[in-house]
Amino acid sequence: MASSTPVVLITGAAHRLGAHTARHLHQRGWNLVIHYRSREADANALRDELNSIRPKSAVAIQADLAAPDQTELLARKAVSTWGRLDGLVNNASVFYPNPTQDASPGDWDAIMNTNLRAPFFLGQACLPALKLSQGAIVNLIDIYSQRPLADHPLYCASKSGLASLTLSWAKDLAPEVRVNGVSPGAILWPEGDAAIDEGYQQSILAKTPLARTGKPEDIAGAIAFLLCDAPFVTGQILAVDGGRSLNM
């Protein structure tokens, strides 16, 4: 028999914004399916943390979203865990610079498969369960989907595609399933190969009316609002960016 507790699947939930969102929704009484690709230790630690607060309320499931055959398997495992699915948060993303003259087919596949293909086919696979629960999808987009970032053509194209998919799904999946997006500005600075220097960080903040970075909780709260508190909202993309999109 299906659980009476709402269940959400969050992709890329082992760290950064995904983990903050998982904790926030768990505090609001949701059961969590924590998806991860390679951060097994982080995902298991988060699972154990949440289960220590509320037993049997979180699971961690590995899947490579760039591999087409793994999205359907992830959906099946997510739904079967508690016999229901009420929310899908497409948070996982690949972000790194790739100027047009240097971009390869491998770059195309890595970015497009994770950022656009996977959300579509994962949503497709989760759709029967989401319809049964009158559930919702929230896609993590980016303010650069509207005003592209230099030397990131594939990333920006993937996020623009996800924004368009959000609006298309809001039409096509209604009235059973609501679909919205959250478009972050400067919240957590990029890491690794995508890291930016302090001077560029300051130039971003200079164009942000609120003159500071946001907090991960700002994004988690926006996602929770769209999942939990906005039953008459669909087809919207909420910019959580301190006003930066006004000055891009």
What's the first-to-final CA gap in the chain, in angstroms?
Answer: 50
Q: Convert the pLDDT of each residue in 150-207 to its tens digit.
A: 999 999 999 999 999 999 999 999 999 999 999 998 876 666 655 666 776 788 888 8
pLDDT digits 0-9 by tens, 27-76: 999 999 999 999 999 999 999 999 999 999 999 999 999 888 899 999 99
Name the fold adopted by 7-240: Rossmann fold (3.40.50)
Q: Distance between CA atoms of 138 and 181, rounded to whole angstroms?
A: 5
Q: Where are the domains of the chain?
A: 7-240
105 half-sphere exposure, CB direction, 13 A CA radius: 0
DSSP letter for 194, please: G
The reported pTM is 0.94
Select which of 36, 96, 155, 200 is catalytic. Answer: 155
What is the Cα–Cα distance from 207 to 229, expressed in whole angstroms? 31
The strand pairing partners of 184, in sequence order, are 240
Active site residue 155: yes
Instruction: Tell me the average pLDDT across 213-228.
Output: 95
Pick the closest to residue 194 from 111, 98, 108 (CA basis): 98
